Structures are given as C-alpha cells and as structure tokens.
Amino acid sequence: MNTPPVPAAHAAQAPSDWVRRWAHLVPAGGRVLDVACGTGRHAHFLASRAMVVTAVDRDPAALVQVRAQWPTNASPPAHILQADLESEPWPLPGSQFDAVVVTHYLWRPLWPSLLGALAPGGMYIHETFAHGNATVGKPSRPDFLLQPGELLTACQGLRVVAFEDGFCEKPDRYLQRIVAVKEQTGGNTATPPRYPLRALGG
C-alpha cells in the first residue's frame, strides 16, 4: 500500500483551505468524486454546496462515518464505495465527474484513471505533501511526496487555473496543490471560459 500515515494535525475534519477556495468553480448539482475520502470532510463540505458526491475509500470504518455524518441539509451521496484503489481495478469505469478531489493522498499509477474520469469542463483539485516534508515530519518517504512541479507534469493537457508548491505553517508541512480544467473543445474561442479567482478565505 502506498497511502502514508496522516499526522493527527492534518486529519482534522475541517475541509482543506485549497478545496474551500476553489469549490466555487464546480456548479451546484455538479457530480464530484472524492478520492480516498477518509471520514468525509470534503464529501460533506461539497454536498453541503448542493453537489452530488461519490465518496471512495478502502477503510469500511471511515465510510460508516461518512454516511453517519452526512449533512442533513444536503442531497444523499450518489455513491459511497469501498475500494482499494491501489490493488484493485478502477472501480468506476466509464463514470465521469464535474470535479475530482484528492487531498493527502498520492498513488501515481492512478492518475490516468483520475484524469480520465473528468467530464468536459471538469475540475481536477489535488493537494498533498511535497518534497521537503521529511525535514518537518511525516510522511517522509519519497513515494509519498510530490517532486517539484510534479502535479504540473501530471496535468499536462489540462488548463491550469492555480498551482502552488511550498511551505505551510501550523502545522509545518510542505504541500503541492493544483486546480486544472479539462476544457471543452469546439466552444466559442472568441469568448474563452472565465474561472473566477478567489483569495484564501474569500
């Protein structure tokens, strides 16, 4: 297995600031895939924004919490799926989503399936630990850490809306994160799509 242990400080139930910052790009009613969802901090947040969420994780106990804590003001999840994404076939062949969200998880062989699951116009939102994190804590193994610019390479062919690669405090960690769009082809090239930019906390 290539899933690193997530430090307790990183496993808080509040959604990632990165996901919160860019969730506005996914329309209400959009289909969202939350990959390695854990106990559902992003699945719950996105569902509360009127998105239709499919949540996938290998841990059945975590998925029990995902369902038990589902927001009462949100639509039911489209699918809560137990699957080992690293040793089993891709569990959603042919399914497409308006957003694919991945945080604190890295399994490089999965990238073709994740990017292939994007519908035209779909957003890929990924944030996880990066090179340098071994100097401040766990995870520290290179298998679990993105190399400089690695998400940019993985997302070649997509329109990159935002990218960061650096150091964050409280708790100290090195992160790399991206938002990229599978742009639709054949549209009105005279009026390109607009992806509104928002500051953290905006």
CA 123 to chain centre: 10
Distance set, CA 154 to CA 69, 106, 172 (Å) = 33, 12, 25
Q: Residue 31 belongs to what H/E stretch?
A: strand 31-35
Give the 3-state secondary structure of 98-138. EEEEEECCCCHHHHHHHHHCEEEEEEEEEEEEECCHHHCCC
For residue 57, being part of any structural domain is answered with yes
Distance set, CA 114 to CA 73, 91, 187 (Å) = 28, 11, 24
CA 160 to chain centre: 15
Q: Give me the phi and psi of 24, to 5 degrees please.
A: -65, -15
Residue 69, domain CATH: 3.40.50.150
Q: How many domains, in total, are found in the chain?
A: 1
Q: Whole-angstrom Cα distance, residue 53 to residue 46? A: 7
**Both tokens assigned to 177:** 């994160």
Instruction: Give pLDDT, residue 2.
Output: 45
What residue type is assigned to position 34 of the chain? D
For residue 199, being part of any structural domain is answered with no
Q: Which domain holds residue 107?
A: 15-181
For residue 46, being part of any structural domain is answered with yes
For residue 77, being part of any structural domain is answered with yes
For residue 10, being part of any structural domain is answered with no
Q: Residue 18 belongs to what H/E stretch?
A: helix 17-22
For residue 188, being part of any structural domain is answered with no
**Both tokens assigned to 22:** 């860019």
For residue 192, being part of any structural domain is answered with no
Tens digit of pLDDT at every position of the chain (202 positions): 344 443 333 345 799 999 999 999 999 999 999 999 999 999 999 999 999 999 999 999 999 999 999 998 888 888 999 999 999 999 999 999 999 999 999 999 999 999 999 999 999 999 999 998 999 999 999 999 999 999 999 999 999 999 999 999 989 999 999 999 999 876 666 777 889 887 655 5
Q: Whole-angstrom Cα distance, residue 2 to residue 60? A: 18
Q: Whole-angstrom Cα distance, residue 14 to residue 139? A: 20
- Which 8-state DSSP code applies to residue 67? H
For residue 4, being part of any structural domain is answered with no
Cα 73-179-16 angle, rounded to 5 deg:
50
